[in-house]
């Protein structure tokens, strides 16, 4: 089978901005995001009544500002994410709710904030209903339901079924409704974040579970949310999502509910990865090339402190070389690693930590290596391990480049630390 090549292993620019120029201006390692790609993905989802960005995928306030200006609202999973949203210009109040707090617990700070600011809550445990009800009797909530089945193989990414910690177990629905009623709290929304990917048979099971659950709750329901989990391509063989078909399935469920309840039901989608993954590039410089027996390593100046998906999930990212000097036309199999004193600091690895190689152009020290499709769950999972500073982040918008986060300085690394006297 031949697949169309969507990822090239040679790159000169990002949206017309030469890699060389970006590196001169911002250094490496640096995350670069292309605003137009984010806008394009938003447009693809316009059929949904509400696009709620799961900001945990990339919560830089420059990115939040971009999505806000394009009519997108946000999800927040912590009080810190609420603070980010407000800093990026989102209001507490509005229709639809500009910020929704979604979690399986309230830490004390989040509960205080939600109560004080009147933030709508998507509740993921019976204890949250109790804690919310005591503080906001007569309020309105959304329930996140675990329908009893999930999708995906990894315990780290599966969001439904018995081994998932997320949401309210479907068989506890009636208990939760009774608990809410005790505080005069009404359930106005239902949410399922299962992540069917491109498996439409599975998706229709999720839609069916949503329909049945909503009918059990009754006509207080004004909103259903399809959650996130929309896939994006990371390899040439990955097929893009048929957004229209995805929408049609959910829209049918919504229409059935509207017919049953006799009032409008709003349909939300809650993508993280889908909006930002393809917009992002991690620019690195190759600092050493060395042989280890039969293996050849390209060692770059970014590590899993900058991008953790490969070591966490064995995630695959496309990579390309931007030549500083003379371009070559030959390729070779290489292992790509970072600078950390940790043998797992390898970008070319599979789940389970198995190191693998990648066919990339023959490069020399000083050339740039670009890790692509890195806009989601990239920067946000950064750490200061090995006392490496957080990278810079840059937003490209047309012919402009904006530094949306400065690289950390050495002083930033020890900020807040104290030597006892």
Query: What residues line the site for ligand PLP (CB under 6 A)?
Result: 54, 56-57, 75, 102, 193, 195, 227-230, 270-274, 376
Q: Based on CB atoms, which residue is closest to ligand PLP, 22 or 230?
A: 230
> Closest Cα to residue 370, out of 298, 309, 308?
298
Phi and psi at residue 339, in whole multiples of 5°? -95, -5
Q: Based on CB atoms, which residue is closest to ligand PLP, 74 or 111?
A: 74
**Is 341 part of the annotated catalytic residue set?**
yes
How far apart are CB 225 and ligand PLP at their closest, in Å? 8
Q: Based on CB atoms, which residue is closest to ligand PLP, 32 or 194?
A: 194
Three-class SS state of 69: coil
d(CA 229, CA 151): 10
Is the distance from CB of 347 to CB of 309 less than 8 angstroms?
A: no
* 220 CB neighbour count, 10 Å cutoff: 14
d(CA 154, CA 351): 9
d(CA 390, CA 60): 13
The helix (run of H) or strand (run of E) holding residue 276 is helix 273-276
Residue 77: C-alpha distances to residues 1, 84, 124 (Å): 42, 11, 11
Locate 270 and state its tokens.
């809650």
Q: Based on CB atoms, which residue is closest to ligand PLP, 268 or 345?
A: 268
How far apart are CB 103 and ligand PLP at their closest, in Å? 8
Q: Based on CB atoms, which residue is closest to ligand PLP, 193 or 317?
A: 193
Apex CA 403: angle with CA 400 and CA 404, to 5°? 115
Phi and psi at residue 76, in whole multiples of 5°? -130, 135
Locate 229 and state its tokens.
């989990």
| Active site amino acids | 341
């Amino acid at each position: 089978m031949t697949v169309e090549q969507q990822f090239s292993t040679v790159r000169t620019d990002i949206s017309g901005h030469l890699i060389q120029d970006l590196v001169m201006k911002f250094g490496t390692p640096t995350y670069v995001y292309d605003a137009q790609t984010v806008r394009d993905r938003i447009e693809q989802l316009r059929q949904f009544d509400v696009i709620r960005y799961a900001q945990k995928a990339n919560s830089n306030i420059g990115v939040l500002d971009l999505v806000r200006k394009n009519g997108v609202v946000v999800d927040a999973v912590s009080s810190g994410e609420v603070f980010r949203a407000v800093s990026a210009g989102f209001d507490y109040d509005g229709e639809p709710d500009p910020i929704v707090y979604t979690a399986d617990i309230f830490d004390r700070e989040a509960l205080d904030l939600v109560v004080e600011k009147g933030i709508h809550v998507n509740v993921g445990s019976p204890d949250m209903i109790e804690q919310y009800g005591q503080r906001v009797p007569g309020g309105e909530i959304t329930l996140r339901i675990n329908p009893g089945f999930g999708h995906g193989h990894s315990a780290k990414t599966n969001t439904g079924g018995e081994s998932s910690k997320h949401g309210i177990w479907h068989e506890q629905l009636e208990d939760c409704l009774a608990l809410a009623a005790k505080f005069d709290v009404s359930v106005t929304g239902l949410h399922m974040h299962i992540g069917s990917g491109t498996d439409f048979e599975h998706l229709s099971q999720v839609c069916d579970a949503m329909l049945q659950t909503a009918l059990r709750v009754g006509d207080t329901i004004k909103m259903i949310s399809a959650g996130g989990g929309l896939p994006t391509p990371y390899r040439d063989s990955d097929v893009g999502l048929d957004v229209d078909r995805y929408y049609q399935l959910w829209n049918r469920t919504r229409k059935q509910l509207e017919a049953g309840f006799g009032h409008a039901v709003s349909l939300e989608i809650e993508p993280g990865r889908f909006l930002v993954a393809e917009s992002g590039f991690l620019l690195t410089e190759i600092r050493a090339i060395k042989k280890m027996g039969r293996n050849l390593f390209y060692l770059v100046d970014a590590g899993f402190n900058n991008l953790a998906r490969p070591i966490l999930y064995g995630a695959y990212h496309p990579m390309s070389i931007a030549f500083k000097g003379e371009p070559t036309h030959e390729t070779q199999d290489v292992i790509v690693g970072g600078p950390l004193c940790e043998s797992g600091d390898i970008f070319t690895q599979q789940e389970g930590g198995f190191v693998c190689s990648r066919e990339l152009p023959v490069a020399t020290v000083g050339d740039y290596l670009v890790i692509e499709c890195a806009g989601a769950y990239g920067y946000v999972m950064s750490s200061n391990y090995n006392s490496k500073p957080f990278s810079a982040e840059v937003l490209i918008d047309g012919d402009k480049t904006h530094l949306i986060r400065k690289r950390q300085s050495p002083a930033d690394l020890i900020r807040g630390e104290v030597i006892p006297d």
